[in-house]
Structure 1
């Protein structure tokens, strides 16, 4: 295993806004990867439920919305596999490269007019590719800074700016092309985006990244490689056989697969928590912190369940319930997907400044989470108001803009705070796995969404938004009331 300092020394330490040169490579790799992902995601739900005559697949809306949530859940679950492969098999740099290749081919398959089978092949490729690339590119960002380098936090902020810039620009371009001209051309643009990301990575990594990402943290021994090859090989064959048999018998359907993902989304985190809590490597103080982390995890699941409906229910709402002609401009329903990253770009520095300014007077971690849930709930209550006042008439697009804005306020109270809290509350022996667990809160949220989005219709939208928004606000109040008790279980972490 390479020495941490040796890795840092191999990376040119200036060259990108006063940061290591490698940040240029990682910034633009992730910018183009997010461009391809969010571009594809901006039109995917419309592609699924638009009629075949309009270039879509012609699925019914509830199924399309459920598949979209299942897909999002599997993307986050696959990060566990991607992290394990990088740690044990080929290192983070190769994981990013292989992931980018799979994502690009996934988008190429989508770009070819085809059948539902082609659609699912592309989904498998993109899920596996994103699982390899997404967690590992962030790990390499950490590798290019030494432990005590005070540029590290600012470096991650610049890196996340790349994510949000990609997420902001993609729906505007891909949405316009995909919805107004041809879905497959939109997916082709997403493929080209990932190609550019790979090009940047391959052409600049040797000079800019040095040894970062080239080492294998915990390599498999030859005996383990043999054992795992047999296990994975047999598992793949067994899953394939079971799937074929169950499909032919009519047991494995859309509905049963969606239910299976829902079960996995909830079961995997429970197994994780139990394993960490009961491990002999976990100290008494760390066990207490795990107990404090559980209500935060549940709050995170509730938050992401609402936030992630921006690309499903609210995308459908933008398409079917919103006036798309505003101030003389014809709006594409996909453009609303750009609002979340746009607001984050402008508001993230404001929130960071506010927490620093407040110092010791800032809310505690559980109180910030409760604020996140409050804003999430309010974002859903806001979107039911036009229906309450105006009935079935088309809604002014500013209502949707306001809903997206309010949920971003919640995201900035909860998401960066959650990442930070995860690193502080994680048991030493499970630090990397606890970060995987944090991302599983999003997987669990979307697995739950896959079950509930099917109940949404234009007729029951007031009840739908009202019930989910109301539950979030009630959970927010409960979390705020028990925040001091959670704080005590954190054992000194603030």
Structure 2
């Protein structure tokens, strides 16, 4: 790395971090604002009657939401390969976010089911050119001994969750002006993030992240991209034909993709573990990363329920009056964003204050996972306290989200931070994608569990999930020190 790039890494202009981290945080803000705003109203758009919505059943709508969450992370596998070996973090980030912008534009247009299909295609294909390139690019501003790394990822997490306040706005916009106008607002925000990135591309980043970490020869690069585009076109045509003719149902497709998505990260980890490019000490780090991966998967199972099964719960069973004002169902999903910003800010200050005395990242993962499990148990409790058609007080949902976001503050940013340390040098972005695949694994588990979710069986359903998630967190917390040492997360690396 040249002197100019080293100087950029040592900057402290953005909350004690380099200016480039500020740009990435703003992009994360815009992206999360657009993504959360879309997710908050999308399920209602799917099962609302035409012409306001698309007229799917509620069961199919819930599965489509989980399926989208799964597919986006799965396509990121290809994107991380493209980032690490063909485009590099910088180009990957620009292309992937541009495709997402096109997806929001398609949702904003009244094109019906075909428009929804094209939009989901763009939003799913975008990660195929980037994967977790933003998280990998963020990590490139720090070396292993830089004590600012955990704080940088937590800052990015907090800023991202400021954008997650979008549901309150998209819910109001959708109620007042229609779903397409709400989706148009998502497109505007996504475009704003791209513009700021383009303007600060050179002065804030220098050569950081511009080249792929493990580049392919030029002829193989062209060959891979060509083959990828051909496969995408074939898959799009085949799937469109199968759905149009009724040969393939949403339920069957969701179950197949979900099952595959649970297997893929395991296979991917094995491939990286056995690679000749992975050093012996890096293999040990990979093995120690598996338990935290499981933690994140089960927590994302619960989070996916909040935008699928529980989103319907908010509309049908919750008395959504807060401070005398009835809150739209979609806007309920703004509550976690508020807590995420508050809790994330507090934890950032705590980790900075504690410095070398702070808990290991693996300890944080275990504790946070327990809080997620407690959240699921609260939902089970609500079905006991409010049986039948009795309406649940909205303040219970506030408590539910407060506990979930306390858990997320311990798990989400720390997961990417420990992965940045544990990742083999040749597979930095791909390991970030494998970590993010814990999200698709969680979404996939939720899609499969949705098949067992029946009215009247909510209490055992959520109790089983809550106790299972708590148990995973307890085990990881108990063995956290051994896992941390195995990943090289000594106190100097975690300060």
Once residues 474 and 147 of structure 1 are traced to their aligned partners in structure 2, the CA distance between those partners, rounded to angstroms, is 31
* Residue aligning to 2:88: 91
Q: Which has the higher contact order (CA 8 A, sep 6+)?
A: 2
The residue that corresponds to 2:416 in the other structure is 419
Distance of 1:479 and 1:352 partners within structure 2:
22
Please list, as runs of the form range in 1=range in 2, the aligned pairs for 1:61-100 lying within 5 A after superposition.
61-100=58-97
3-state SS of paired residue (1:378):
helix
SS of residue in 2 equivalent to 1:52: coil
Deviation at 1:260, TM superposition (A): 2.4
Q: CA RMSD in A?
A: 3.2
TM superposition shift of 1:478: 4.4
Structure 2 counterpart of 1:239: 235
**Residue number among 385, 389, 400 corresponding to 2:397 in the alignment:** 400
Displacement of 1:14 after TM fit? 6.4
Displacement after TM superposition at 1:71 (Å): 0.7
Q: CA deviation at 1:226?
A: 4.4
Report what 1:110 is aligned to. 107
**Contact 1:69–1:312 (CA under 8 A) maintained in structure 2:** yes
Deviation of 1:152 after TM superposition, in Å, equals 5.2
Distance, in Å, in 2 between the alignment partners of 1:149 and 1:373 is 26
> Deviation per CA, 1:19-45, whole angstroms, max 9, x where unpaired?
544344333332222211111111111
TM-score by length of 2: 0.87
Q: Which residue of 1 aligns with 2:343?
A: 347
Structure 1 residues 93 and 421, CA, compared in 2 at 3 Å: closer, same or farther? closer
1:345, CA displacement in angstroms? 1.5
Q: CA deviation at 1:483?
A: 5.3
- Tell me which residue corresponds to 1:380: 376
CA distance in 2, matches of 1:289, 1:210: 30
Question: 1:81-230 counterparts in 2 under 5 A?
Answer: 81-130=78-127, 132=129, 135-143=132-140, 153-168=150-165, 170-229=166-225
Find 1:329's aligned residue among 321, 325, 342.
Answer: 325
User: Do the aligned partners of residues 165 and 64 (structure 1) sit closer, same or farther apart at CA in structure 2, a change above 3 Å counting?
Assistant: same
Shift in CA distance, 493/246, structure 1 to aligned 2, threshold 3 Å: farther
- In 2, are the aligned partners of 1:43 and 1:179 still within 8 Å (CA)? no
Give, in angstroms, the shift of residue 241 of structure 1: 5.9
In structure 1, the gaps of 5 or more residues are none
Partner of 2:43: 45
Q: Is the CA contact 1:8–1:143 (under 8 Å) kept in the aligned structure 2?
A: no
Map of 2:56 onto structure 1: 59
Deviation at 1:395, TM superposition (A): 0.7
* Stretch deviating more after TM superposition (196-205 or 233-242): 233-242
| Deviation of 1:305 (Å) | 0.6
Q: Which residue is equivalent to 1:370?
A: 366
| Change in 2 beyond 3 A, CA 1:259/1:438 | same
Structure 2 distance, partners of 1:78, 1:221, is 23
Q: Does 1:297 align with 2:306?
A: no
What do residues 311-340 of structure 1 show as CA deviations (whole Å, max 9, x unaligned)?
A: 222222211111122332121212221222
Moved more, 462-471 or 276-285: 276-285
Aligned CA distance change for structure 1 residues 240 and 328 (closer, same or farther; 3 Å): closer
Of 335-344 and 393-402, deviating more is 335-344
SS at match of 2:404: helix
Shift of 1:447: 1.5
Deviation at 1:238, TM superposition (A): 4.7
Structure 1 equivalent of residue 433 of structure 2 = 436
Q: Deviations over 1:252-282 (max 9, x none)?
A: 3212221222122112111122223333444
* SS of alignment partner, residue 252 of structure 1: coil
Distance, in Å, in 1 between the alignment partners of 2:41 and 2:244 is 31
CA-CA distance at 1:123 after TM superposition? 0.8
Residues 429, 226 of structure 1: alpha-carbon distance in 2 compared, 3 angstrom cutoff:
closer
C-alpha distance in 2, partners of 1:158/1:44? 28
Q: 1:41 to 1:389 in 2, by over 3 A?
A: same
**What is the TM-score of this pair, normalised by structure 1?**
0.87
